[in-house]
Chains A and B, each alone.
Chain A
Amino acid sequence: MSDAPTVAELAALEAAVDEAGVVSADAQAVVGRWLARPTLGLGAVPGGADHPVWLGGSVGRAWWGLGDGLTGTVQTVAGAQAPLGPAVRGADLRWTTLAGIATASVRVQVGPEIGFHRLRWSTGDLNDAPFVGGRVAAVVDSGVVSLSAEHAALWCWTDARMPANGWPGWGDEPEWRAGIGLHTGLVQWRLDATHRSTAAGPLVLGNLSLRIRP
């Protein structure tokens, strides 16, 4: 068995590092990574007439600081999702860029989002509409389980759609999302539910997604 340094000796080493003003690569590094997340969803259209399966995914890039304590983080992600089958047709395209601050267990991010949305189902439709707005997202992460909550305020910049009834300033079609994540080794599983208000009624979507997390 080896004679390991004591806690006091290691503390003295750490103090010597601090006193010498020596920094590590980790403390200075801002790193970037590509990310991809396939998504499978089950939704409900306004009126509840149809329950389409949605398939899609997102790709993007994230940057974050490796230093201890409070660090900055930025990510830009493009996502696309569409219902499967003949009963419901449509598409949900988005590009979201979020910036914020993070600790080891808490993240808060805010940023702009643009998108395009269309939906036609057996008893109604929502006109093709481009949207612009913003999103705020907060995450609490234990390292094994994470909980997240998001709100997106989206405005249609054409007259394609009537705004949903809602509070002023929350967007023409405000969207709320809550989810739970589970980290299992290199795979991160995610289950979330989204509620989007439209003039025709609420759109509800539950999504299961995963991301390889090397």
Chain B
Amino acid sequence: MTLPFAWIATTAVALAGPQPADLSLDDPFAWDRVARAVVDGPPGCRDARGIARVRITLHQMPDRFSAARDTEILLAGRVTGTLRDGRWDPIQVDLVQLAPPPDPTGEPSATSAGLLPLIGTRADKRFTLAWANQKVNLEGDDIPLNLIREAIDRWGGSEETVFADWDATRDGVWVRRDVPVSEGSDDTSQVATFFPGGGTIATVLDVTFPRIVHVGSWPARVKLQNAQMHIRQGARDGVAWPTLESTSVVASMFGFQLGIEQTIQWEGWATCGGTP
């Protein structure tokens, strides 16, 4: 995305909730700057570990004579990596196929897969996608990849709208950034970030895209449906610690419909070289 952005800012303040008197929502951009930093993860150098689950489901349609049929491939593995100031150096996961069960007479299959995490930026150019027992090597470009920044900031249009409002029910501040899915588009994606108590630590980040987004052109036209990304964080010692992230989408192409879901439960963010 090219700077500078053409900003349109709106502040909406709910009147009914017990918003703290000293809490200012007059500058939604200040809130948004903090919200944008969520994807960088914890500050400094961190040795991360977690568990990843990747689920790919082929959805076959029902008709008058048959029920719907889902064929699921389930992969899981342990994630390890060093996150240095928001950049992975590197991130690694060996995914094991859990379903359908691998051939019991063969060697258990493990695939070194390139996860596309929501937290942190992948700096490596090459990565591998896992598909059952097959590997597909992809050549990445020179641009470091963070999935949210890629989908929102690089693909999205420049005319953004930022809201900050008090949620009296949940007792906190929601910062919502609406971004056109592409330059000039009327369809917008939204990044919603929640700050409990109006503090500086966000615990929730939800990215929702329009219900249907088309990518590419015929015949390689892909329909992305209900695409969404979620980050959940906890707080300790005044620092936010990612605990969970999830990316999912239903993709339709050439008559096939695939549900793709990647979930990572982050278990620890130890200081590099230190104890967890």
Contact, CB under 8 Å: A214 / B265:
no
A211 at the interface (CB under 8 A from B): yes
Residue in chain A with minimal CB distance to B110: A2
Chain A 1-20: CB-based contact to B (< 8 A → 1; otherwise 0): 11111000110110011001
Residue in chain B with minimal CB distance to A137: B64
Tell me, rounded to whole Å, the shortest Cβ–Cβ distance linking B180 to chain A. Answer: 21
CB < 8 Å neighbour of B66 from A23, A146, A150: A146
Q: How distant is the Cα of A37 from the Cα of B65 in the complex, in angstroms?
A: 11
With known contacts A13-B265, A29-B250, A190–B65 Cβ distance under 8 A: yes
**A-chain residues with CB within 8 Å of residue B59 when the two chains form the complex:** 26, 31, 66
Contact, CB under 8 Å: A13 / B255:
no
**A-chain residues with CB within 8 Å of residue B96 when the two chains form the complex:** 2, 4
CB < 8 Å neighbour of A12 from B98, B252, B265: B265
Contact, CB under 8 Å: A35 / B232:
no
CB < 8 Å neighbour of B261 from A24, A150, A188: A24
Contact, CB under 8 Å: A26 / B248:
yes
A128 at the interface (CB under 8 A from B): no
**B-chain residues with CB within 8 Å of residue A2 when the two chains form the complex:** 77-78, 94-96, 108, 110
A109 at the interface (CB under 8 A from B): yes
Contact, CB under 8 Å: B53 / A22:
no
Contact, CB under 8 Å: B252 / A31:
yes
Q: How distant is the Cα of A64 from the Cα of B252 in the complex, in angstroms?
A: 14
User: Among the interface residues B77, B108, B225, B243, which one has the most CB atoms of the partner chain A within 10 A?
Assistant: B225
Contact, CB under 8 Å: B77 / A5:
yes
Contact, CB under 8 Å: A16 / B257:
no
With known contacts A2-B110, A13-B263, A214-B60, A25–B78 Cβ distance under 8 A: no
Q: How distant is the Cα of A106 from the Cα of B256 in the complex, in angstroms?
A: 23
A183 at the interface (CB under 8 A from B): yes
Contact, CB under 8 Å: A31 / B246:
no
B68 at the interface (CB under 8 A from A): yes
For chain B, the count of residues having a C-beta within 8 Å of the partner chain is: 47
Q: How distant is the Cα of A12 from the Cα of B226 in the complex, in angstroms?
A: 25
Contact, CB under 8 Å: A31 / B77:
no
| A60-77 with Cβ < 8 A to chain B | 62, 64, 66, 71, 73, 75, 77
Total cross-chain contacts (CB, 8 A):
159
Contact, CB under 8 Å: B68 / A102:
yes
With known contacts A24-B248, A25-B248, A104-B67, A10–B51 Cβ distance under 8 A: yes
Chain A 91-125: CB-based contact to B (< 8 A → 1; otherwise 0): 00000101000111111010000000000000000
With known contacts A33-B61, A33-B255, A66-B250, A28–B265 Cβ distance under 8 A: no
A179 at the interface (CB under 8 A from B): yes
Residue in chain A with minimal CB distance to B98: A4
**B-chain residues with CB within 8 Å of residue A24 when the two chains form the complex:** 228, 246, 248, 259, 261
Contact, CB under 8 Å: B257 / A31:
yes
Q: How distant is the Cα of A115 from the Cα of B60 in the complex, in angstroms?
A: 29
| B248-268 with Cβ < 8 A to chain A | 248-250, 252, 254-257, 259-261, 263, 265
Contact, CB under 8 Å: A73 / B225:
no
User: Among the interface residues B53, B64, B250, B259, which one has the most CB atoms of the partner chain A within 10 A?
Assistant: B64
Contact, CB under 8 Å: A139 / B65:
yes
Tell me, rounded to whole Å, the shortest Cβ–Cβ distance linking B100 to chain A. Answer: 13
B36 at the interface (CB under 8 A from A): no
CB < 8 Å neighbour of B228 from A25, A137, A181, A212: A25
**A-chain residues with CB within 8 Å of residue B78 when the two chains form the complex:** 2-5
Contact, CB under 8 Å: B64 / A98:
yes
Contact, CB under 8 Å: B67 / A214:
no
| A128-151 with Cβ < 8 A to chain B | 137, 139, 141, 143, 146, 148, 150
Contact, CB under 8 Å: B250 / A25:
yes
CB < 8 Å neighbour of B67 from A16, A146, A150: A146
Q: List 7 A-B contacts (CB under 8 A).
A: A16-B243, A24-B246, A33-B257, A37-B63, A139-B66, A146-B67, A213-B61
With A5-B51, A31-B61, A62-B62 known, 7 other A-B pairs at CB within 8 A are A4-B96, A9-B51, A16-B265, A64-B62, A66-B57, A77-B63, A102-B67
Query: Which chain A residues have a beta carbon within 8 Å of chain B's beta carbons?
Result: 1-5, 9-10, 12-13, 16-17, 20, 22-26, 28-29, 31, 33, 35, 37, 62, 64, 66, 71, 73, 75, 77, 96, 98, 102-107, 109, 137, 139, 141, 143, 146, 148, 150, 179, 181, 183, 188, 190, 192, 211-214
Instruction: For the complex of A and B, list the 6 residue pairs with the smallest distance between their C-beta atoms, beginning with the closest.
Output: A2-B110, A2-B94, A141-B67, A25-B226, A4-B96, A214-B255
